[in-house]
Structure 1
Amino acid sequence: MTGVEATGIVEPVYNFSVDGWATYHVGELGVWVHNICSDELFQMIAESGMTRREFDRLIGGWSKGTYDTVADGIFDHATRHFEGDIARYMRIGGDIQGQIAARSRGWSLRRTQVYRQGTPEQYVARTWDGPNGRFAIIDDSGLLRTWGIN
């Protein structure tokens, strides 16, 4: 790829996975692409009753982590670990992030790790343990990377 040019042409796009992955390679050059942006993620959960305002507030608290976009990470984790209930996964994640930020009782820091993704990229992630077997990983900017139940 040598550049991007706005053509004004509107074309349909499709949300699919290849061999279980939301990212895939296309064309002779094998360009790595992804298929979910925040607008598409919001459309997926439109029937959940979540407003755009709530969605924007929640997604603003997440980190993209090792994914191409924040939406890719949320979609993948909600699909693999939360039966595809994206809205519920986001809402609980937002609650967890607020509890940790407020240093609520029941949450304790388990470990801090430095991850390296290529050179010189690195990030710090703090893993927190919470009530009912929950855990959360927060990056060094305070954004939620993921959460789950042990």
Structure 2
Amino acid sequence: MTTQNCQQVREHVLGFMGSLPGPGQDKDEEVVQRADGVREFGRQWLVHKDEDGASLSASLSDRDDVIEFGLLAREGDTAINILHATLVLDEDEILLNVLSEAHTDFNFDARLNADRLTRLQETLQFYAAHLAAWGSAPSTAKH
């Protein structure tokens, strides 16, 4: 069972993610409805792939009170971690760990609460901006 503070943060993240383009909830893998009402899921999708093989993949999961989301770019045999965020919703605290090979400003750890979400919001905006930039580029892949 998660605390009210954790549930507010979960709703904030999943509400934000639900407003972004993506595969939709029908693409969730192994959805489990917990007794406390939390819907656990995992989702991965190809955002963009061009003729030269450059691609961007996105992911989002919420399992065991850990929300993860990320973007992975590929160019040939090279993979670049654009963003990987892990949000741990613990009874006592909410921890955010963010890693990025592409943007060093997004390498940090932060403690959050429902009233102090600035670093989380910056991370979500960064995710959304990259998703939009790659998603709006011409693509030869079938989604």
Please report the TM-score for the alignment, with normalisation by the length of structure 1: 0.25
Between Structure 1 and Structure 2, the one with more helix by share is: 1
Higher relative contact order, structure no. (Cα contacts within 8 Å, ≥ 6 residues apart): 2
Bigger Rg over Cα: 1
